[in-house]
Amino acid sequence: MTSELEKARGSRASLIPWGRIPWWVVIISILGVFVGYSVLTSETYLTVISFVMDGVKLTLQTTVVAFALALVLGLLGGLGRVSKNPVLYAIATLYVEVIRGLPMLVIILYAGFVIGPGIRDATGGALNPPMLQRAIIGLGFGYGAYLTEVYRAGIQSIHRGQMEAARSLGMTYFQAMRYIVLPQAFRVILPPLVNDLSALLKDTSLISVIALSDLLQMGRLYVSRTFRAFEGYNTVALLYLVMTMILSSLSRVLERRMKIAE
């Protein structure tokens, strides 16, 4: 009975493992080839792409700088969230609760029209960050709050004995964090970090509301000039999709490598 069942399974498995093919990848690849071909052979799409290319550059720049800021703020916030110092803990918790309670769009408008001018007035005009810097600061602080929780979870996932072993050798709290806990935590949080990077990339489209020429803003500009909404927004969507899909496949590779390393 069992052997016949196995035989039946074996004969089926010996062909193609239909169940294990990632069908969505196949579909996206076929669609990708088709869309890519029709876009790259169409004069209209090529015009749109060259028109919005500067926007892609700004979107990528904003993403990279804001994410770097968020990584630093998230690390500081995460250390605060696991700190025994009640003041640091309170500051970090307040930061997370306030920022995560606000829509990203509101944060960006705040950074652009409230905090930015505030800095200018407070320094008597000596410091007057341009709109792009204000937007990056807004995004960086906004995502820093989300990354704070990612770091906190990562640090807390490392067994208490690791900190104890490091401390019992005479290391200070920060040495133990730096050499023992954080390197291990970082491996754990790498995949979620890449997911947040992808989310940040999409959220940079919000800076178009403060008139920065990112990918979305350039697409809208194209549409308002030519009334070709179909091609304009198709191009915008396609370019975002290409960028986020590169990131999500990166995240998948990282996750797989993590599993092997365990």
Partner 1 sequence: MLNNEPIIQIRDVHKHFGHVHAVRGVSLDVHPAEVVVIIGPSGSGKSTLLRCINRLETADSGTIVVDGFPVTDPATDINEVRAEVGMVFQLFNLFPHLTALGNVVLAQRVVRKRSREEAEAIAVEQLTKVGIPEKAHAYPGQLSGGQQQRVAIARALAMQPKIMMFDEPTSALDPEMIKEVLDVMLELASEGMTMVVVSHEMGFVKAAADRIVFMDEGEVIETTTPEGLFTAPKHERTRLFLSKILH
- The CA–CA distances, whole Å, from 62 to 129, 133, 213, 246 equal 15, 9, 11, 17
Q: Name the minimum Å distance from CB 254 to partner 1.
A: 16
Contact track, partner 1, 186-205, x by CB under 8 A: -x------------------
Alpha-carbon distance 136 to 145, whole Å? Answer: 14
Count residues near partner 1 (CB under 8 A). Answer: 18
Give residues with Cβ within 8 angstroms of 20, minimum separation 6: none
The H-assigned helical ranges of 41-85 are: 43-81
Which range, of 8-16, 69-77, 182-190, 197-205, touches partner 1 by CB under 8 A? 182-190
Q: How many residues does the chain have?
A: 262
Place of tokens 């700004």: 58
Is 42 a binder of partner 1 (CB under 8 A)? no
Is 183 a binder of partner 1 (CB under 8 A)? yes
Q: Name the minimum Å distance from CB 83 to partner 1.
A: 17
Q: Is residue 190 a contact partner of residue 33, using CB atoms and an 8 Å limit?
A: no
Alpha-carbon distance 164 to 162, whole Å? Answer: 5
Footprint (CB under 8 A) of partner 1, residues 71-100? none
Footprint (CB under 8 A) of partner 1, residues 141-180? 159, 161-162, 164-172, 175, 179-180
Q: Name the minimum Å distance from CB 53 to partner 1.
A: 42
Site residues, partner 1 (CB under 8 A): 159, 161-162, 164-172, 175, 179-180, 183-184, 187
